[in-house]
Structure formats: C-alpha cells, structure tokens
Amino acid sequence: MKSNETEQIGRVSVELEPQPGARWSNRFAERAEIEGWTYSWRFDKGPCPSQMPLIHRKKPTEKPSTPPSEAVGDEDSQQKPHESPKHHKKPNGRIDKGRWSCVDSCCWFIGCVCVTWWFLLFLYNAMPASFPQYVTEAITGPLPDPPGVKLKKEGLKAKHPVVFIPGIVTGGLELWEGKQCADGLFRKRLWGGTFGEVYKRPLCWVEHMSLDNETGMDPAGIRVRAVSGLVAADYFAPGYFVWAVLIANLAHIGYEEKNMYMAAYDWRLSFQNTEVRDQTLSRMKSSIELMVSTQGGKKAVIVPHSMGVLYFLHFMKWVEAPAPMGGGGGPDWCAKYIKAVMNIGAPFLGVPKAVAGLFSAEAKDVAVARAIAPGFLDTDIFRLQTLQHLMRMTRTWDSTMSMLPKGGDTIWGGLDWSPEKSHTCCGKKQKNNKTPGEAGDNSTSKTRPVNYGRIISFGKDVAEAPPSEIKNIDFRGAVKGQSVPNNTCRDVYTEYHDMGIGGIKAIAEYKVYTADAVIDLLNFVAPKMMARGANHFSYGIADDLDDPKYQHHRHWSNPLETKLPNAPEMEIFSLYGVGIPTERSYIYKLNQSPDSCIPFHIMTSAHEEDEDSCLKAGVYNVDGDETVPVLSAGYMCAKAWRGKTRFNPSGIKTYIREYNHSPPANLLEGRGTQSGAHVDIMGNFALIEDIMRIATGGNGSDIGQDQVHSGIFEWSERIDLKL
C-alpha cells in the first residue's frame, strides 16, 4: 500500500494498487498518524477503490506523538484483513476485546429475563397445588371459605334460575363487519379482553366503537355486536373479574349454564334500540321463560349490576306492554316468572359522574391526571387528541344519557340545600340497622356545610357563596355561530365547534347549575346528542302515573315516572357499597389553552387539605361506592318503593343491603373479599352469600332484611316527594 499526501482540506487521499479482480474479504479500519494528527479510514467489502475519503481525524494530545513513519510502518499496530474488527492487537502480542455494545447488553438482559421466567415457571408447575395457598395463609392468616363452599357444607343446592345483567362497559363487544383498516379483526373483541387493537390502530378503533351521531345505531359498513354467553362479562380484561367470582361460587352448589344466563347486550345503544336491532329483550324474555319451565316452574332471580339495573327496569315495563312497542307478556308476566331482583350498585336516580363525562369528557381521575401532567391530555399527543376523540365517541352512545340525574332539584337539592347536607367525609361509620323512623345521620360535620345541590359551579367562590350573592346570566339566549379560535380541533369534531366564543362565555357566566339546570346545559352544549336521548330517556317526576304519555318507552327506565309490576310476592333488593368518597358535584373553570378543543375543565386547584373536607381536586365527594352516591342507590328502596306507594301499588317488599368498604390488607388479597367499590363489590363474599341464599330459596328475612351503615333513611326523609 502506498500513500500520497495531497493538499486537500479535511481529506487524505490514499492510492491503492489492487490486483485485478481483488476484493477485500472483510470490513476493517486503517489508521495513521501524520504530523501529530491521528487519521483513520475504513474500507468496505467490495471492489478495491483507488481512493478512500477520510472518515475520522483526531486532534493530537499533549503527549508526544509517535513519528508518522513509525505509526504507518509498524505492521504490529495495523489490523490484518483476516482479523475480527472487534479485536486489536497490543504491543505485547495480546489481543484486546472490543467495547461491550448496547445490543449485547440488551440481548444479555432479555436472555436473563427469559431464563428467570422459565425457571420460575418450572418451579411453579413442580410445586404442590396447595403451596401458593399455604404461602398466602402464612402471611395473611387462614382464608375464609368462599360462599359457595360454605353454603355447600350447609347443604344448600341450586334452586331458582339466575339471570345476570351486566352494566355499561363491562360486557365484551366483537366485530362482525368493518372498514378496511379493521381487516383481520372479524369476531375479534374490540371491547374487553386485551384491548390490543387500541394500541395498534387507535383511530380505527374509535371509528368502529362509535355509533351514528344522527341515529344512534350502526354507522354504514360497521357492525359491532355483543359477545354472547357467560364469557361476555365474566372478565373485563385478563385477570380483572366482573361476574367470574359469583359464577364460580354458584357452580359450587350445582349451577351451570342451563340455569344461569348472561343477558349480554350492546351497552352503547339505547335500551329500546337493543330490541330494535338485536331483539335482546325478546331473547331475555324467552330465556327466562325457558329456564323457569325447565326448572319445574321455579321463578328466576335477576341480578343486574350498575346500568343493567336501569336496563331491567326498562325490561319489566317492556315485557308487560303490548306489541309492537312491548313484548306482549301481559300485566302478570313479572309475577309469574320473577322471584326477586337483586340490584348491585344501582344508579336508580342517575349519577353526577355522567354529567362530567358528557360535559367535559372527564371525571375525578382524569382531572387529577391532567393536574399531574399539565397539557398532556389537552395537546395533540401523537396526533391522537385523546380526550377529544373520547368525547366524540361517548357522545354517540345513547346509553350514557340513561344515567343522567333524575328527579331534578326535588331529589338532588337546590342552591341552598341537599339531602346529604350534614354529611362529613371523615370519621368511621358505625353499623346502623335501624328502621326508617329510628335512623339518623351517623356523623355530624364539623366543617362548613357543602352545597351538594350545585352540581356544577364555575369557581370555588361561587360554590361556597350564599344564594343571594349568585347572579345568573341566562345562557340560553347566547348567540351561537362565532367560530372557536382553534382550527387544530377541526378533525375531531365536537358540538362545541358550533357554540362560538359567546356561547362558551355565557355558560361560565351562568355560574351555578343544579340538577334541573344541568339538563338545560347539556341541551345547549350538545343539542344533537340530547335530541337523540329525548327519544329514549326522561329525567323528571310524574305527577300522574296514569297519564297515557308515561306508557311511552322513554319513561320506562325512570323509576320516578313508572310503576313497579303488579307482583306482590316479588322482592326487590338494593345491594351497594358505602364508605368510599364518591363524586357528587364539581367546580369548573374555563380552559384558556389555545390548543384544547374542550373549553371547560374541572378546577383541580380547588382543594382543601383539611381531612374533614369533602372537596378534593375540584370535586365534592359524598358517601357511596366510588361511582354511585348512596342517595341514588338507596332512595327508591328506602322510601319511594317502601310499602304501598304510587310507585309501588302492589306493595312489593324492598330491602337495602349496604356493605361497608374494607380495602385489601395486602397485595396477596387481590381486590379484596370485603370491598365496597362499584365493580370490586362483585367479589365481596358477604354480597355473594346474600345472592346465593335468595337463589337457593331464601327471602329478605332470611338474610337479615335491611343492613344500613349510611344516613340514607334520614337523607330520604329530607326529600319532599309525593308518594
């Protein structure tokens, strides 16, 4: 090899004299020191070039450099073509290994993880089946027998058919027809399971989970349907049970699919549209009739959860109503086929959480996440606009409107009062099994009373101000149409685009919204959504239940506008958790960010550190199961349906069973066996035992009638409703 020095800036030309047809066998580096500078160049495998450009030049160090002639001519310091590029020969003849690369480290780490995983898996499969339980009991103490095992020891066996009715979002949905972006997903779960498609193709997933904004039915070219069978809602996601624990315990005493039925339905649709599109109500009617017939005429026990409670209220009116609007079962159908209805976490009168979800696509958890990472959910992260897409999607689901507060200010309170006015968010609750006449609020608030009737307040000062100081400016007359000054939101359309700046400011200037005003507010900010909802749901109180207008299906899921069936032997239970702070009212602010497409946010800075305060992160909390306030879950069974009333003309017996929340003591207990949380209560052993005793032939007296820990009876007495 020869080298010629040429006068080129930043470049050294090297002349080579290759043999004809010669090729380098390996890719290697050459280096030399010339006039104190270290130069390096690299030859790639291939035909030998006549010149190679300089690829590295190193500034000389303070130490004296080796003369160029020695560096270039020292054959021992040069790497031979046949040597590996990762090894360099030292002057003493030893070969030094190359530097440990990042790829090597990653491969080593993955290998260690895999080996460790397989080793632990081998140990797990090799050990006795009882060993995990032995370890758990050694740490937590002896575990109680599951209810199924306990009742089996008592000799109880399957008797009455059991029907499960899942709530909103807990039932699986699968794809039957979709757009091109959903190729390969036929009969794959879009909702429930692993949610893998959310991560792979989020915008395609949003498109297929949305309904038509005009009709509330399937968009053109898309068919998403409910998964059928017990697997539809046994687990929401792998490892996250919903109905699985109850099903497993019932199986211990002889239940199986012939006497258990999961009434799965597309929970996005309005209740009547599940019948129009899928005949879900008809299939439920037929399944109940078949099970009662095959079980020797033993009536069914119905177990609805969450929104499934409202769905079954609708069913009881539908099944008795004449065709074509109803199922044509006649006025005695419920008396003939239903033994008991055991409602779990029942939002009979709606939930304030639904207001926040439809108004600003957030609730307490989302608001706190926004406060922790300001701007993350508001900006165009990965071009997904998360909350905007969430709002657009959920506003096409008619079912969300079924859970808006019902009964207006009469039930939920006004500017200066609410049924839970004396509630305090601190202090341990004492067990209270008193009758309605003896019951009282178990705690006395030491802090300033909360105006829970103000479901939405713009500003903390407004939430606490006396009614005389609040001056409302009516938003209904605000002019719409002025464009929102944010063009980045146009690809994620929400009805806020049609409001204009004037309409948005008018909403904030109205300052306070009670339950009556909230419905007007949503009619103003989302008129298309509420127009669809008006065809299927109603939120008032009936003056005359015999008025023919209440025979329309839009009233059937509102217990304040319908009568219970004529079934005096039937029993109705309300089973729900207490002892968990639950969203009741909100403090809002105008969003000043120019990047946000949603102009209103919960004011998370409105917070009080006092442990007795119910205000946390812009949300006033009250007693409940974290989703449904006690007032909504308990009022109907505590007062409106208690005894013979105009809402319960046949005097169906009603019971309240409250379960005080007790979180798991450690991770080994999972989600706990004494939880009162809205979904986790499905694994509460006491609740499961109550359901099983009724299903095996017991009644309300056999399980202790009322079990109350909250102030529901006193709060109910404060509601002035004609009964």
pLDDT in tens, 133-171: 556 556 556 667 899 999 999 999 999 999 999 999 999
- Is the distance from CB of 348 to CB of 635 less than 8 angstroms? yes
Length of the chain: 723
pLDDT value at 466 more than 60: yes
3-state secondary structure 428-445: CCCCECCCCCCCCCCCCC
Report the relative pairing of strands 37-43 and 571-578 from DSSP bridges: unpaired
661: phi then psi, degrees, rounded to nearest 5: -70, 130
- 317 or 436, which is more confident? 317
Catalytically annotated residue among 398, 516, 623, 625? 625
**74 occurs within a structural domain:** yes
Tokens of 283: 């299939």
pLDDT at 664 > cutoff 90: no
Return the pLDDT at 243: 96
**How many structural domains comprise the chain?**
1
Q: List the strands of the sheet with 189-191, edge to edge.
A: 189-191, 173-177, 223-226
Cβ neighbour number for residue 19 with a 10 Å cutoff: 7
Answer whether residue 378 is part of any domain.
no
Domain that holds residue 78: 28-97
| Residues linked to residue 302 through DSSP beta bridges, in sequence order | 163, 341
Total Cβ atoms within 10 A of residue 70:
11
Report the C-alpha gap between 455 and 540 in whole angstroms: 17
Packing angle, helices 386-394 and 352-360, rounded to 10: 120
Q: Does 612 or 467 have the greater pLDDT score?
A: 467
Cα 497 off chain centre by: 26
- Residue 401's closest CA among 506, 525, 536? 536
* Per-residue pLDDT, 40: 55
Paired with 48 in beta bridges are: none
Confidence of residue 396 (pLDDT cuts 50, 70, 90): very high
Whether residue 81 lies inside any domain: the answer is yes
The C-alpha atoms of residue 529 and residue 507 are separated, in whole angstroms, by 18
What pLDDT band is residue 385 in, cutting at 50, 70 and 90?
low
Helix (H, G, I), strand (E, B) or coil at 225: strand
Residue 587 has pLDDT above 50, yes or no: yes
Name every residue whose Cβ is closer than 8 Å to that of residue 124 and which is 6 or more positions away in sequence.
Answer: none
φ, ψ for residue 660, nearest 5 deg: -65, 130
> Residue 69 gets which letter from DSSP?
H
C-alpha triplet 140, 142, 143: angle, nearest 5°: 90
- pLDDT at residue 109 is higher than 80: yes
Mapped onto helix, strand or coil, the DSSP state of residue 411 is helix
pLDDT over threshold 50, residue 300: yes
Average pLDDT, integer, range 69-96: 48
pLDDT of residue 423: 80
- Arithmetic mean of pLDDT, 23-34: 48
pLDDT at residue 609 in the model = 74
pTM of the model: 0.79
Residue 654, phi then psi, degrees to nearest 5: -125, 145
CA–CA dist 40, 54 (Å, integer): 7
What pLDDT sits at residue 81?
47
Supply the pLDDT for residue 180.
Answer: 92
Nearest to 716 by CA among 451, 514, 437, 444: 437
Determine the number of helices (DSSP H) and then strands (DSSP E) in the chain.
22, 22
- CB neighbour list of residue 379: distance below 8 Å, 6 or more residues apart: 595, 596
Chain centre to alpha carbon of residue 252: 31
Q: Taking the CA atoms of 478, 483, 486 and 492 in sequence, report the sign of the dihedral they define.
A: positive
DSSP annotation of 377 = T
Active-site residue, 287 included: no
Q: Is the pLDDT of residue 442 over 70?
A: no
Please say if 360 is a catalytic residue. Answer: no
Determine, yes or no, domain membership for 375: no
**How is residue 108 written in tokens?**
């080593």
Distance CA 676, CA 663 (A): 8
Question: Which residue is catalytic, options 208, 210, 305, 306?
Answer: 306
Which helix (H) or strand (E) segment is 207 a member of?
A: helix 202-209
Comparing 8-12, 210-214, 286-290, the range with the smallest average pLDDT is 8-12
**d(Cα 247, Cα 233) in Å, to the nearest integer?**
11
The Cβ of residue 346 has, within 10 Å, a number of other Cβ atoms equal to 30
Q: Which whole number is the average pLDDT over 658-667?
A: 84
Indicate the helix (H) or strand (E) that contains 688. helix 685-695
The answer to whether residue 543 scores a pLDDT higher than 90 is: yes
* Mean pLDDT for the stretch of residues 96-103: 63
Alpha carbon 119 to its chain centroid, in Å, reads 36
507 with 521: CB under 8 angstroms? yes
Among 533, 520, 304, 564, CA closest to 409: 520
Q: Which of 43-52, 76-85, 429-438, 571-580 has the highest mean pLDDT?
A: 571-580
The pLDDT tens digits for 641-652 are 999 999 999 999
Q: Give the tens place of pLDDT for each residue, 163-204.
A: 999 999 999 999 999 999 999 889 999 998 888 777 788 889
Where residue 558 falls among pLDDT bands split at 50, 70, 90?
A: very high
CB 484 within 8 A of CB 595: no
Reported confidence tier of residue 91, pLDDT bands at 50, 70, 90: low
User: Is the pLDDT at 44 greater than 90, yes or no?
Assistant: no
Question: Residue 63: its pLDDT value, please?
Answer: 47
A 10 A CB-CB count for 242 gives 26
Kindly name the residue from 423, 678, 709, 710 that is annotated as catalytic: 678
Residue 10 lies in a domain: no
Q: Six-digit token pair at 631? A: 């007032």
Sheet holding 571-578, edge to edge: 260-262, 162-165, 300-304, 338-344, 571-578, 653-660
144 occurs within a structural domain:
no
* Known catalytic membership, residue 706: no
657 pLDDT exceeds 90? yes
In a domain, 223, yes or no: no
Q: Are 269 and 233 in contact (CB under 8 A)?
A: no
The Cα 621–Cα 627 span in angstroms is 10
Domain membership of residue 62 (yes or no) is: yes
In tens, the pLDDT along 499-542 reads 777 788 888 888 899 999 999 999 998 888 999 999 999 999 99
Least confident interval from 218-232, 264-278, 562-576, 660-674: 660-674
Mean pLDDT of 9-32: 48
First-to-last C-alpha distance (Å) of the chain: 107
Please give the Cα distance from 474 to 511 (Å, whole number).
10
Which three-class secondary structure state does DSSP give residue 65? coil
pLDDT more than 90, % of the chain: 54
pLDDT on residue 491: 46
188 versus 483: the higher-pLDDT residue is: 188
